[in-house]
Structure 1
Amino acid sequence: MGSPGLMRAREKMADEGVDPVAIDVFSHYYRLLEHGETGMIPESTIEPHDMESLADVDIDEQTARTALDGTAVIKLNGGLGTSMGMDRAKSLLCVRRGLSFLDIIARQVLHLRKTTGARLPLIFMNSFRTSADTVAALDRYDELGVEGLPLEFHQNKEPKLLVRDLLPASLPRNPDLEWCPPGHGDLYTAMLGTGLLDALLDAGYERVFVSNSDNLGATPDPRVAGWFAESGAPFAIEAVRRTASDRKGGHFARRKSDGRIILRETAQTLDSDKEALADLERHRFTSTNNLWFDLRAMKDEMQRRDGILGLPLIRNVKHLDPTDPSTPEVVQIETAMGAAIEVFEGATTIEVGRDRFVPVKTTNDLLVLRSDVYTIGEDFVLDQTAAQIPYVDLDGPYKTVDAFAQRFPDGAPSLAEATSLRVRGDVTFGKGVKVVGDVEVEAEKQPERIAADTVLR
């Protein structure tokens, strides 16, 4: 028998029609939480991890093409972009030339199919909040679907738990807020529960490439597919060198007890280890969240573990209504899909260029992506045309997409020659503004406007 909180949570999930395997996975983590598990990974238990670089790997063209033909593409598309003031799928946000993330992703895949001959199915993992908008936006691409495979599948959902007693939270005025996604580590449970894992194997696919829909650098590259196929590894993650902007982010390491590669997230780092987390010389690589895994190896491992991979727990504490701090604190049980690297014997990593890691998490990132730092070619792949990616730090008035748009009514300024841009206060940018070098703009007491064609140095 489980605790009252777990029993009520299981009943709530069953009443909602959640897949039984997902309920069992949730129960596994609930018990860990109940027994005080925090998911923390102390610095004393790990050591730095190094890896080979894709730039040093030779992959012949035929190997790359064959590997790509046996690859399916999954895009994680469950995020609403709430941190930028959005209430729908973040991938619907316009990037440039009137194209959204979804438009560019679809066109990248269609172009690769045309030029390589690969089947390359594209499948979106949506949440219960992003599905309808996403499917509607993809209706314009009649040729995108692959016979016998779905265009989307749904990640699971689970109840938020009150911090004080771990009972399922209740919010009658907005019942949707009683639920949360289980983190992107739910990918494997959802693939198994929806039948997608078996459908891909039955259709003859050997491997899957997974990435976030807000990372337009994450294309299903034939060279990386060829490298993964040649490696014989069951699981792999693309990594990049950490920079100053990654100091607070997760990193790869090796566990001292068994030598396995692990991925330590910020939420799994003790306060006393935050200095080591920020040490870019000690922990040199961070995850792009671009994953490759062998479908048969995944199926076998999930069968062996009765559908529960046992990824490390991430205990995420928030308010029941994220916009209302007066609502009670809740625990969201989460896992990270990259943490599966420690599950598989022989799993590996490879260093790739920063061009494969262009995530948009804030309006700072969005400004860079919309600027002349990048161009998009006929293959719809981002090309970095500037010598470096400038550091951008926009103040509070720019944090939501609507407020951001009001202050850049004529588009992004030129950042191709910028090293950094910091904006303090309420500043509106006119058309054709150019930023050169390190620039800080400040509106001290009242809103200001930068005139069209101004060069800021």
Structure 2
Amino acid sequence: MATATVGLSDTEKISQLRSAVAGLHQISENEKSGFINLVSRYLSGEAQHIEWSKIQTPTDEVVVPYESLPPTPEDPSKVKNLLDKLVVLKLNGGLGTTMGCTGPKSVIEVRNGLTFLDLIVIQIETLNLKYGCNVPLLLMNSFNTHDDTQKIVEKYSNSNIEIHTFNQSQYPRVVVDDFMPLPCKGQTGKDGWYPPGHGDVFPSLMNSGKLDALLSQGKEYVFVANSDNLGAVVDLSILRVMVTPKTLADVKGGTLISYEGKVQLLEIAQVPDEHVNEFKSIEKFKIFNTNNLWVNLNAIKRLVQADALKMEIIPNPKEVDGIKVLQLETAAGAAIRFFDHAIGINVPRSRFLPVKATSDLLLVQSDLYTLADGFVIRNPSRKNPANPSIELGPEFKKVGNFLSRFKSIPSIIELDSLKVTGDVWFGAAVTLKGKVSIAAKPGVKLEIPDGAVLANKEINGPEDV
């Protein structure tokens, strides 16, 4: 079979791709058709940029203020009835590679020796115990995290919650030059494949058989969130899609907009180059997507069966062994425009506490937060509603290095900002206040002594401490 696509039409490219994909025995028929469908949509030009002039700021009817939500019912039996209809689904396909870890990100220790997954399990156990309900936990893994997660989940076998796992799709990366699958070029290892973004959660939930099983148990709603967002906890006032006030730390996050009369998610990948700075501005786009979704299970089934969830395609270029490849992805929040009566909820910042880097880990391990029943709760002693801005140099990037450089995590209740560069080591019981900048000179080890109190200081050597 020819592999050159010079001069081929899109129809011919798809026909050639279909023949190649038919021979990929590693994936299911559902995955093959889902992949072909995604590539066909991409080639037909569906990944076009949005018409900027049609974007409107959503009104309070479309993005409802959190304060206007009805209060939690006081009657425990009513709460039990609500929770018995709920399923919690955590997106667990990511590896902790950016933080120097090899397994699923959800098994990084966050606080008091407990991992993300431990905290999620404790939260749901507490709910089930308090209200006598049965809220199950679903973990959507990728082929990267499946095996490890299966082993880890065994340790919760005595808990009072049902834990189910399923895998999201596995798609072949396509070679940019001829749009052929990379595994067909002899790249049969993991690098030949990719999980196609969390927008895949809806078809994967259906294809795995989990959706029908949940519906047969009387479940009606699913709460979907990233496993690394410690603020994404079950909130009885919310049964819809959520968004939250945007801060300067979130300028790359998607935002909700009104577009041609519907609420829609706008991601940075869809923004024309000349409007990127405007997209990042917190003046025009004051809210952003936390990727916390509350969705009706029957509606998911109906839309997946009708093949109606045609979310915007996000092209993600990569390179494998010097070959330029493309992976086409979708975002779960982008499905909002396909659901009737969908709304956003402008939630408080406390519902968005992701750990994407060790600088975030420093925040959640510090005295800025306490832990109760698996919930990470902000210390009321902190007067400033915003978290301190923290920048740590590459020496702190990996979790192991980060932990070794702190004898104990400093007190940061009164910290506004911290910037650390170079070979810096922190002693025990250090307190940081105001704006602190610590920069070790090249080749010099700079140690912050035990018990040091640094307030509005710029430190370049031991003499400045």
Fold shared per TM-score above 0.5: yes
How far does residue 30 in structure 1 lie from its aligned partner after superposition? 0.6
Tell me the secondary structure at the aligned position of residue 450 of structure 2. coil
- CA gap 1:133/1:145 in 2 versus in 1, 3 angstroms: farther
Tell me the residue number matched to 2:116. Answer: 101
Of residues 249, 256, 267, the one that matches 1:252 is 256
Deviations 1:263-316 (A, max 9, x none): 1111221211112202212111111111111111111122222xx521111101
Equivalent position amino acid for 1:312 in 2: E
Tell me the secondary structure at the aligned position of residue 233 of structure 2. coil
Equivalent position amino acid for 1:424 in 2: T
Find out whether 1:25 has 2:37 as its counterpart.
Answer: no
Of residues 175, 192, 195, the one that matches 1:178 is 192
Find out whether 1:58 has 2:58 as its counterpart.
Answer: no
Q: For 1:184-263, list aligned pairs within 5 A.
A: 184-224=198-238, 228=239, 236-255=240-259, 257=260, 259-263=261-265
Between the aligned partners of 1:215 and 1:330, the Cα distance in structure 2 is 30
Tell me the secondary structure at the aligned position of residue 403 of structure 1. helix
Between the aligned partners of 1:95 and 1:11, the Cα distance in structure 2 is 43
Equivalent position amino acid for 2:33 in 1: D
How far does residue 145 in structure 1 lie from its aligned partner after superposition? 6.8
Equivalent position amino acid for 2:65 in 1: S
Q: For 1:25-424, list aligned pairs within 5 A.
A: 25-50=34-59, 51-59=63-71, 60-62=73-75, 63-144=78-159, 151-170=164-183, 175-224=189-238, 228=239, 236-255=240-259, 257=260, 259-305=261-307, 309-320=309-320, 327-377=322-372, 379-385=373-379, 386-387=382-383, 388-408=386-406, 410-424=407-421
TM-score, normalised with respect to structure 1: 0.90
Between the aligned partners of 1:143 and 1:123, the Cα distance in structure 2 is 17
RMSD: 1.9
Tell me the secondary structure at the aligned position of residue 223 of structure 1. coil
Between the aligned partners of 1:108 and 1:407, the Cα distance in structure 2 is 31
Deviations 1:107-144 (A, max 9, x none): 11101101122210011111112122222222222244
Structure 2: tracts of 5 or more residues without a match:
1-10, 456-465
Between the aligned partners of 2:51 and 2:217, the Cα distance in structure 1 is 43
In terms of Rg, which structure is larger? 2
Instruction: Considering Cα pairs closer than 8 Å and 6+ residues apart, tell me whether 1 or 2 has the greater RCO.
Output: 1
Tell me the residue number matched to 1:233. Answer: none
CA contact (8 A) 1:5 1:168 kept: no
Between the aligned partners of 1:146 and 1:39, the Cα distance in structure 2 is 44
CA contact (8 A) 2:125 2:161 kept: no
How far does residue 403 in structure 1 lie from its aligned partner after superposition? 2.3
- CA gap 1:86/1:5 in 2 versus in 1, 3 angstroms: farther
Between the aligned partners of 1:281 and 1:271, the Cα distance in structure 2 is 18
Tell me the residue number matched to 1:6. Answer: 17
Deviations 1:229-288 (A, max 9, x none): xxxxxxx32111100111222111011x3x111111112212111122022121111111
Percent identity between the two aligned chains? 36
Between the aligned partners of 2:419 and 2:120, the Cα distance in structure 1 is 30
Deviations 1:296-340 (A, max 9, x none): 1111122222xx5211111011122xxxxx622211110000111
CA contact (8 A) 2:47 2:312 kept: no
How far does residue 174 in structure 1 lie from its aligned partner after superposition? 6.8
Between the aligned partners of 1:292 and 1:55, the Cα distance in structure 2 is 18
